[in-house]
Structure 1
Amino acid sequence: MLVLCAVGALEEAPISPPVPVEVAAPVTPGDAPVLQDTATVVLRLTIDEVGAVSRVEVRESAGAVFDRAAMGAAVRWKFEPARRSGVPLEVQVDVPVHFAPMRAREAVAETPHGATGTTPAPPVMTELAVDDSTSSGASSEEEKAASRSSSPGFSTTVRGVAEAPPPVAVGDFHIEVGQLADVPRNSASDLMLLAPGVMLANHGGEGHAETVFIRGFDAGEGKDVEMRLNGVPLNEVSHAHGHGYADTYFIIPELVDSLRVTEGPYDASQGDFGVAGTVEYQLGLARRGLTASASYGSFASRRLALVWGPPESSEATFVGLLLRQGEGFGPNRSFANATAMAQVELRLGDDTRLRLLGASYGARFASAGVVRETDVVDARLPCAADADSQFFCFYDENQGGASQRHLVSAELQSRLKRGGRLVQQGYVVLRQTRIRDNFTGFIQDTPPGEDAQRGDGTEGYYRGSTLGLRGRYTPGLTLLGQSRPLELGYVARYDDVRTRSRRLRDSGGAPYSTLFDNQVRTTNLGGYASLRVQPLDWLALRVGVRLDTFLFGVEDLNRPAVDRDGPRIPEESLDAYGFFASPRASAEVKLSPRLTWLTSAGLGARSSDAAALSDAELAPYARVASGETGLGWRLEGASRPYSLEARGAVFATRVSQDFVFDERLGRNQPIGASQRLGAFATGRLQWEDWLDTQASVAGARATLPAPGASAWKLWDGAVMPYIPALLGRVDASVRGHVTVAGERLGWNVALGHSAVGPRPLPLNRYSDPVFLFDVGTRARWDWMELGVSVENVLDARWRETELNYVSNFRGPDAPASLLATRHFSAGAPRTFRGTFTLYLDFEEDAP
């Protein structure tokens, strides 16, 4: 198991706080209440890399009048940006603004520069607090004491990288990876486990997209979860392996700064495939310089990672290279892949930034597929007869795949004169995959004449080009106490893809028949609007609506050469159109300064798979209606060395058209409406740079309602197969330092634990529960670091995927049994990995 070294370096350079340049005193309205004592509003400011205040939030209120006065002034303040090693970065600062009782007819407000300005005789006098201390550790205690006794200054408490905007639901998680990057993980996909109620499974090998279970959905490889990377969509329309296929294996884990997991369709910016939710990866490299990491582990696995952040640039500029290769933990599981990713941020003046991102990826992998449990028990597989050899064996060596991806994105961010924001992005994605599976052996083929059965192997081929534009505009308004309350956005995406599925011979793997072969062109045009207001001190409301249109053009290249009217060209064209409007809303009630009650509701949709369309059809959508209510609690503050956050909610979801895996075709097929009722709870504790731990538990019941049943009976109906009812996850990392022989050594210990409850299978069967533990430890001296990680510490024999159906793997002449039996793909056994990392800085010496 690899150790994420670059993101979680044991030492970080201190942050120098932002320095105020223009800070005008607030002006309170004439009808403000008369104060008998000082009133204080604590603002949390997000200050970006150019020193502008991009967001203002009230952390401690002194009443609506004073809150609005403080916020109205804060959005106009300007700063020298915060810096780490001389590089500007976005940070968050807490600013107390004091309103004192009026002692004169005219108030004089002191600015950080010592200049004075007069305000027209309001009933109160305003002044800014005096405290230049910061959490960066740059000032000594004497210097801090001196600053407190000097003339009025500006109070800042640097909080690192800025927090995300307020969540749209309790299940909207803006996850800073931070110290939890120390927990052993196989790929960037595993970072999704930081959100509650998420499980990953993979039957196809290292390079095949993960099957995602989230919020009670079997989201397949992307059909029910929208995936994005820095705004670029990753879901692939009408993919041969499954509509919405989204492979995140190409993302370099060391370059993932944060991810946002929005469970449920509650944000107006969520688009196609956002049925169960949306996952967006954000890239960034906090550490400057070159980090080189080499790993070697069990089953001849090798890994080389190089990431570089130029010292004179921001965290948004980086280059990364990742090479992986191995024989796999059993026969027919070898893999090899390579990824290169680079991003540069250019400043086009004081108010505009341009980010250019490029990525290139290639992979090839073998797959053991699934095996029948009865064949494993009876030792019938073509491996040694011992239990372990049979458990990790396979049937068909012609399983596996290959994948390529090339991506380019340009994003322009502009700060407008009146405080507004404008973001425009364009992207191009080139994609190709070929995936070979065999789930049933020898029962699907119907050979001509008296020929023998040729085998049920399938090959899904996909080649696509995606061009897109997206943007959002936030006017610089203040409405009902909320700064920048309105967001407008649009999307425009065009896909030109060739998608094909064929049957393969068991002997040699040559194709012998075509299941479908389509040339698909899809245009998606959409727009959304979202408004957030705070009419009362304790109440915030968000409403939004999204409109999406789809135009499908399909060339069916697999039509018969002869029909009942005679010979014909074996091709056919069809076109279809679809339109969908999806409103979303949420209400946030502040029960106390730390406790919030948030209720959200929304509609979402999944577009149609082109293979299921007919000509001139008003393209059907899978419609989803979802609601959620729950509590969020957060404890933090400049005086505390720790922060603690906890959330919990209950949710209900109904989908008009769901999908379940069909082993005969090797892909998901429609089964009608479905519904879910569930709940989750999660908490995270961070204690300075020493401890970071997070735990979550989630449960959901997914059912197929009986025809005509009430939509309110969300618990009734047949249980949907393969979806676990209970999931738990713990991630923890502890860091520290020791002195050995006069040398300072950094150390780290990390743990990851997943618990998966029994999964329902067809015909009233259930899988066994799964309990997995992963541990990792590192030690660093100066610029060198050694790490060891162990995956599946207890060496459990667990089944990563479990299915239940009829198959025949004994051969083409064996009689096929009509009795369904359990099939599974084996999970990885205990796996060791050692990592050696070099941290090489190439910063110029100070003069």
Structure 2
Amino acid sequence: MKKSIFLINALFISYFLPAQHNKLSGVIIDSTTKQPVFGATILLNPGGKSVSADEMGKFILNNISATIIHLTISAIGYEQRYFTIVANSPEQIIKMKRQQTKLSDVLVTSYSGNPYKVLAETDIGMRGVANSQEVLRMVPGLFIGQHQGGGKAEQIFLRGFDADHGSDISIHMDGIPVNLVSHAHSKGYADSHFIIPETIERATFNKGPYDVEKGDQATAGWLDFNTVNKLSNNTIKLEAGQFSTFRALAMIDLLNSGIRPCKASWYAATEYSYSNSYFENHQHFKRFNFFTKFNYKISERQLISISASSFWSGWFASGQIPERAIDSGLVNYYGALDPNEGGVTSRTNFNIQLKSSLKNGGLVKNQLYYSFYKFDLHSNFTFYLDDPVNGDEIRQREKRNLVGYNGSYLHDGRIGNLKSTILYGVNIRLDITNNTELSHTHDRYVFLNLQKLGAITELGSSMYMNETIKLSGRWTIKGGMRFDHFHYRYNNKFNNDPTLKGSGIYRASNYIISPKININYQASTNTQLYLSFGKGFHTNDARVVVSGNGKQTLPAAYGSDVGVLYKPLKNLLIQTAVWYSYLQKEYVYAGDGGTVDFSGSTRRLGADLSIRFQPVKSMFFDLDLNYANGRSLNEVKGNNYIPLAPVWSSTAGISYINKTGWNASLRYRYLSNRPANEYYSFTCEGYFVNDLVIKYKAQRYEYGMVIDNLFNIKWKETQFATVTRLKNEQAAVDGISFTPGTKFAAKFSFSYYFGFKNLMKADK
């Protein structure tokens, strides 16, 4: 303990030591929008010393021995700049001009601490985001499935995890958590449909529990979306396709700030979608989104961002169909057994972020956010298993208030001659639900009986610290610690709840400490090796925790990665990793039926491979291949499979971008067979699906066509081993129930850009 205290004091005191030799500071901005270019790499020549621009676009190079400084400034999607400046000059403002994303501009550097940073920036620059589902597919190896209509959160698969609707992946949008804890339907429910895809500027992600900034749900990985601060043009977009599919989008600069430099920017984006989808039972899916964001530069060192959004969606669903119902001819492959499934949901968000750049080079971030959320879902998974007369339809609903605060301090300093970056952070989150309900219904609107009813209050607070030290130009060590504490309160309003001892208020609390360490080695200018260890966790439903009776209600997840990021050619990037994860308990609330599942300890091991190749400027290839082997550690061999856990998965695509305006992309998604239950007596069938995108873009307009399932194969998007009983059946049957994937579906779009006369004339 004394040694630890001594080390901490030494690190703290080192920040007050005088800097040595010369230094240079600057700000990297977009030449058109004048917004900061976050993550730009500044490389010192000669010597190879590098830093990254922070969220304000600022950077500092300390301890420089040369008087005349030569810099190479690189950012994906921007023209590379070569800059010469005299040391100790006043802070420089360096403008970067946008261009088509090129792999040749990618620099392999270890200091970012995130081995997936390059992939994230390259993919969103080359592939973009075509729709709300593509928002999640930006993560290599992440698969999604929909089994209750387009309005429900997707089922997520990543690194051998069936993460259900988000239980093992943490998702944020502009710092607002997408995951909802102690949700009426599932743990960590992450409905990202309130995000308008065209507003996304960048997506950042990592796999595994290796980042101290990420806590609850970040076991398989995490994904952050950041929206644009300022529009480069106004947009009107119309889409129409098969199955009565329509979408209208508008993005408007409310200050006309794109045509002149100014301290403020403000825009609004809105979309409306409608589709009957490919099911025989028309979904009548409707979704409305509105988003607005205001940015104001208070001073050269302070920026405030205020945003608000509102989302509403309603739909009917085909649901999950037992295979025997189709084999017997009872229902068509795209039919429905209960046409009353579906739901209504909405979410309204308010978000305030203040970023302050200090004179010592530090960055302080403060954020307050609030969400109001409503959810009402009707499902029927077992049909007539429990009630042979009325059926087993259930209703899950809740109203939720979510309020939170995020604060952090980032500072670049030195420990002797070593560069050190230290990060301190605090997260506070309060979820309050009103009458979270699980009830038995018939024909959607007929109430039969209550199964659960109560109000949930869940308060989570955390502190974290991380330090990144760059050793001898090649080694970078990033280590930290995170502390999370949770308090749960459940006001049970249903006296006959079988998991609790009558109505009344129940309380519980728990906490966890999570250490993390990441080691990077810059073997050469084109090769980075990394090794990561970390401890993470996912919380469990408050109703489970308060009825835990001493059981382990906050189990830990441990992970490790060994990988390499390699660029053998200027237009070829390869990333590969082998990984291992261990969970003390896969202990989750099964919201569909209101029961608790205990699956004991599990382990997973696997390998990931990502390749990006750009043989010529107009052609881009991407390939992701993933393998995972998951087993339960508390069962005998043969009975120890993890249900629904993905084994082999792969995505790949060829993208073509022509300077005349034509661009196209042909992609595939492959998911192999996987176990449907712990005995592997039932199989979830794999699939191989192709999608096609063709577009033509001019200065003021764009035409496009998107085709899902190009070769019109029959495939099963989600599958479950479920005990069901159909109407008039005498006995229950255990088997596969599934939701079919989309048929061949073509959609056409037209976009019109207007408003900024000098749209294509960036400042030099």
The residue that corresponds to 2:610 in the other structure is 682
Q: Equivalent residue for 1:634? A: 567
TM-superposed deviation, 1:823: 1.2
Q: Identity of aligned pairs, percent?
A: 19
- The verdict on how the C-alpha distance between 1:699 and 1:308 changes in structure 2, with shifts beyond 3 A counting, is same
Deviations 1:147-194 (Å, cap 9, x if unpaired)?
99xxx999989586999994546467761266656567441x423323
Q: Distance in 2 between matches of 1:471 and 1:342?
A: 23
3-state DSSP of counterpart to 2:367: strand
In 2 relative to 1, CA 414–131 (structure 1 residues): closer, same or farther, beyond 3 Å?
Answer: closer
Alignment of 1:597-676 (within 5 A): 597-614=529-546, 620-634=553-567, 643-659=571-587, 665=593, 669-676=597-604
Structure 2: gaps of 5 or more residues: 1-16, 48-63, 100-105
1:752 aligns with 2:667: yes
> Aligned equivalents of 1:464 and 1:186: distance in 2?
27
Per the TM alignment, residue 518 of structure 1 is displaced from its structure 2 partner at its CA by: 1.8
Match of 1:835 in 2: 749
After the TM superposition, which residues 132-151 of structure 1 pair with which residues of structure 2 at under 5 Å, given as runs?
none
Name the counterpart of 1:821.
735
User: Shift of residue 605 of structure 1?
Assistant: 1.3
Question: How many angstroms does 1:367 deviate by?
Answer: 0.8
Residue aligning to 2:522:
590
Alignment of 1:60-139 (within 5 A): 73-74=22-23, 76-78=24-26, 82-85=29-32, 87-90=34-37, 92=40, 94=42, 96-97=44-45, 126-129=67-70
User: Structure 1's 133 and 172: CA in aligned 2 closer, same or farther, altered over 3 A?
Assistant: closer
Partner of 1:242: 186
* SS of aligned partner of 2:179: coil
Q: Which residue of 1 aligns with 2:12?
A: none
Q: 2:210 aligns with which of 252, 259, 266?
A: 266
Distance 1:597 1:419, change over 3 A: same
Q: 2-side partners of 1:130 and 1:573: how far apart? A: 63
Task: Spell out the pairing of 1:145-544 with structure 2 (5 A cutoff).
Answer: 158=96, 166-168=111-113, 170=115, 175-176=120-121, 182=127, 185-187=130-132, 189-284=133-228, 288-309=232-253, 310-311=257-258, 312=260, 317-330=266-279, 331-381=281-331, 390-445=332-387, 453-479=389-415, 483=419, 485-498=421-434, 500-507=436-443, 509-544=445-480
- Matched to 1:354, the amino acid is I
Q: Distance in 1 between matches of 2:548 and 2:592?
A: 29
CA-based RMSD of the aligned residues comes to 3.7
Residues 343 and 406 of structure 1: CA distance in aligned 2, closer, same or farther (over 3 Å): same
CA contact (8 A) 1:183 1:731 kept: no
* SS of alignment partner, residue 524 of structure 2: coil
CA contact (8 A) 1:174 1:260 kept: no
Counterpart residue identity of residue 483, structure 2: L
- 1:756-793, CA deviations, whole angstroms, 9 ceiling, x for partnerless residues? 11121225222332111111111234412211111100
| Corresponding position of 1:806 | 723
Q: Which moved more, 1:612-621 or 1:525-534?
A: 612-621
TM-score normalised by length of structure 1: 0.76
What letter matches 1:631 in structure 2? V
Q: Deviations over 1:574-611 (max 9, x none)?
A: 11111110001121122222112111111111123111
SS of equivalent to 2:299 = coil
Counterparts in 2 of 1:517 and 1:495: CA distance versus 1, 3 Å: same
The separation in 2 between residues aligned to 1:765 and 1:515, in whole angstroms, is: 30
Change (3 A) 1:159 1:178: farther
Report the CA distance between 1:131 and its aligned residue.
10
How far apart are the structure 2 equivalents of 1:833 and 1:555?
48
Secondary structure of 2:546's aligned partner: coil
1:181-217 CA distance string (max 9 Å, x none): 6567441x42332322211011011111011101110
Cα deviation code 1:316-361 (max 9, x no counterpart): 8532111100111112422001101111211111100001111110
Return the index of the structure with the highest Cα Rg. 1
- The amino acid of 1:542's aligned partner reads K
Asked if structure 1 preserves the Cα contact closer than 8 Å seen for 2:129 and 2:135, the reply is: no
Q: Please tell me the residue identity of whatever aligns with 2:524.
A: S
Q: CA deviation at 1:83?
A: 4.2
Quick one: which amino acid aligns to residue 352 of structure 1? Q
Task: Give the letter aligned to residue 349 of structure 1.
Answer: S
The AA in structure 2 aligned to 1:436 is: H
Partner Cα distance (2:72, 2:368) in 1: 44
Residue 483 (structure 2) aligns with: 547
**Corresponding residue for 1:741?**
none
Q: Normalised by the size of structure 2, how large is the TM-score?
A: 0.84
1:798: Cα distance to partner?
Answer: 0.3
In structure 2, C-alpha distance between the alignment counterparts of 1:561 and 1:190, rounded to whole Å:
40
Q: Would the alpha carbon gap of residues 541 and 831 (structure 1) be closer, same or farther in structure 2, given more than 3 Å must change?
A: same
Q: Is the 8 A contact 1:487 1:530 kept in 2?
A: yes
| CA positional deviation for 1:130 | 9.9
Deviations 1:488-518 (A, max 9, x none): 0010111111353434344454221222112
CA displacement at 1:242 relative to structure 2: 0.7
Deviation sequence 1:50-77 (CA, Å, 0-9, x none): xxxxxxxxxxxxxxxxxx9999744x43
Q: Hey, what does 1:65 align to over in structure 2?
A: none
- Match for 2:696 among 779, 782, 795? 779
Instruction: Kindly indicate whether the alpha-carbon contact (under 8 Å) linking 1:440 and 1:664 is maintained by their aligned counterparts in 2.
Output: no
Structure 2: how far apart are the matches of 1:71 and 1:783?
A: 52
Give the Cα separation in 1 of the matches to 2:429 and 2:225.
Answer: 19
Quick one: which amino acid aligns to residue 471 of structure 2? P
Task: Look up the equivalent residue of 2:751 and give its one-letter code.
Answer: T
Cα 1:171–1:499 shift into 2, 3 Å: farther
Q: 3-state SS of the aligned residue for 2:136?
A: helix
* SS of the residue 2:134 aligns to: helix
- Is the 1:292–1:307 Cα contact (8 Å) retained in structure 2? yes
Shift of 1:487: 0.4
Whether the aligned pair in 1 keeps the contact of 2:186 and 2:589 (CA below 8 Å) is no
Q: How many residues align?
A: 706
Give the secondary structure class of the aligned counterpart of 2:324. Answer: helix
- Per the TM alignment, residue 223 of structure 1 is displaced from its structure 2 partner at its CA by 1.1
Deviation at 1:78, TM superposition (A): 3.8
Instruction: From the superposition, tell whether residues 301 and 314 of structure 1 become closer, same or farther in structure 2 (CA, over 3 Å).
Output: farther
Whether contact under 8 Å (1:208, 1:247) holds in the other structure is: yes
Q: CA deviation at 1:831?
A: 0.2
- CA separation of 1:533 and 1:508: change in aligned 2, threshold 3 A: closer
In 1, Cα distance between equivalents of 2:36 and 2:134: 27
Partner of 1:805, secondary structure, is: strand
In 2: Cα distance, 1:465 partner to 1:155 partner: 42
Paired position in structure 1 for 2:14:
none
